[in-house]
Amino acid sequence: MLIINDIIEKLPYTNPFLFVDKINMVSADAIEGCYSFKKDEFFYKGHFKEHPVTPGVILTECCAQIGLVCLGIHLLNTEELNTGNFQVALSSSEMQFLLPVFPQETVTVRSSKLFFRFNKLKCEVKMYNQQAQLVCKGVLSGMIKSSNI
C-alpha cells in the first residue's frame, strides 16, 4: 500500500503545473488534499490587471489533480504506477464556481468516489478556502491506466 506522501511523488506533473502540496487523508472512497497558491504563479500575470484571481480552469485542475489523479493512483496502486509507467486523461468535468481564490490562499479539496470501473474514475469534488467556505464544486471523470495496456 502506498504511503500518502508517495502518491504525490507518483503524479505525472511538475512545477509550474503541480497543484498538490499535501494529501491529508486517503481511503478507498475519498481523498483530501491542500494547495497554496503562490503570489508569483505564472497565470496571475494577466488574470486580471492589478487584481489577480485564480482562473477557473486552474481551480478545476487542482481539483482534478487531488480529487481524481491522486485518488486514482491510490486505487490502482500497481507495479506500472510504481514505475511511473501510466497515462492519465480527464474525460469530463462539470464545475460550479462560487467564490474567487486569490494569490497566497490555501485551498482544501475533498473528493468522494462515485464509481471506479474499468480504470474510469468519477468523483464529486469540493474545494474550500481557509475560512471553510465552499469555493467550487462539481463532478470530474477521468481515466488512469498502465501504459502497457
Residue 114 CA, chain-centre distance (Å), reads 16
Three-class DSSP category at 118: coil
Say if residues 103 and 52 touch (Cβ distance below 8 Å): yes
Output the nine-digit C-alpha cell for 112.
468522494
Residue reference for cell 468523483: 123
Sign of torsion, CA 60 28 88 7?
A: positive
What is the maximum span of the chain, computed from C-alpha positions, in angstroms? Answer: 48
**How much of the chain, in percent, has pLDDT values that exceed 70?**
91
Report the C-alpha gap between 118 and 140 in whole angstroms. 16
Q: Which residues have CB under 8 Å from 39's CB, separation 6+? A: 52, 103, 104
- The predicted structure's pLDDT at residue 81: 61
pLDDT in tens, 18-77: 999 999 999 999 999 999 999 999 999 988 888 999 999 999 999 999 999 999 999 888
CATH superfamily of 4-146: Hotdog Thioesterase (3.10.129.10)
Please write the tens of the pLDDT for every residue from 80-127.
Answer: 566 567 788 999 999 999 999 999 999 999 999 999 998 899 999 999
User: Model's pTM, two decimal places?
Assistant: 0.93
DSSP 119: T
pLDDT bucket at 143, cuts 50 / 70 / 90: very high
User: What average pLDDT does the segment 130-135 reach?
Assistant: 98
DSSP at 28: S
